[in-house]
A = this chain, B = another copy of it.
Amino acid sequence: MKKEKLILVTNDDGITSPGIRTLIEAVQPLGKVVVVAPDSPQSGKGHAITLGFPLRLSEVKIFDGIEAWTCSGTPVDCVKLARDKILDRTPDLCVSGINHGANHSINIIYSGTMSAAMEAAIEGIPSVGFSYLNYSYDADMSTCKQVAEIVTKKMLGTVLPPHTLFNVNIPDVDANQYKGIRMSRQANAKWVEEFDERRDPTGKKYYWLTGEFKNQDTGEDTDVWALENGYTSIVPVQFDLTDYRLKKKLEAEWSF
């Protein structure tokens, strides 16, 4: 008899966010689900890990019939602790999200949602992060749930290369304008920051991060294009950051 699929669920918005509840509902029919998620919001934490401080785990009963734990660390810490201290075998899949807000293009680098999924992929667990282009906790997540069902079923039903990782972003459009799922590449984009400078009651300056997103990519095969045109984008992601083209060029041109 085949063993039931084991699915690790995590996120970066914290265990009480509506997004993780939607994701649990989407994957629950596909196997045994274990949730290990941050006990507080961890947005923008990137691939941070906790060094120099110890971590806590607490079992919580907030999802009907689902084993769930909060972790005091970052999203990446959640995955590491789940592997070492909670799960008794390697999961068949790790799903992260559903994030309240976009993680397309360069945002993948800052995203705790995607870093958690990447950490699992580094471990050899096929993984996927889901993000919804709507920051409201009251947003209707029914399209997100459908997308999570479709993608996770596809992943569990396919023999995937080791370290497979997907970045899935769902557009914020009405159901009748939604066009489906489109394989995409990461758009070349960045944030232009303008920190909001204020003064505290003692007169000292402090700064709030604000910024404007700039898409520098005119391609019609990017995640940003897909989202702007009513598609869910799915970007296959890898974590060998070597720039092989520049390496080859400089090997020929540079000597030390």
Contact = CB atoms under 8 A, between A and B. Distances in A.
Interface string A225-256: 00000000001111111111011001100101
Contacts of A44: 48-51
Q: State the oligomeric state as a number of copies.
A: 2
A254 B45 contact: no
Interface stretch (A1-9, A21-29, A81-89, A170-178): A81-89
A38 to B, nearest CB: 13
A47 B256 CA distance: 30
Given A55-B209, A209-B50, A254 B161 contact: no
Contacts of A57: 205, 207
B209 A77 contact: yes
30 contacts: A46-B46, A46-B48, A47-B109, A47-B110, A49-B110, A51-B209, A54-B207, A55-B195, A56-B205, A57-B207, A84-B193, A85-B195, A85-B197, A108-B241, A150-B256, A154-B254, A158-B254, A164-B246, A181-B256, A183-B247, A183-B251, A185-B240, A185-B242, A186-B241, A186-B242, A235-B241, A236-B246, A237-B242, A238-B241, A238-B242
Interface of A: 41, 43-52, 54-57, 74, 76-77, 80-81, 83-85, 106, 108-110, 115, 118, 122-123, 150, 154, 158, 161, 164-165, 167, 180-181, 183, 185-186, 188, 190, 193-195, 197-198, 204-209, 235-244, 246-247, 250-251, 254, 256
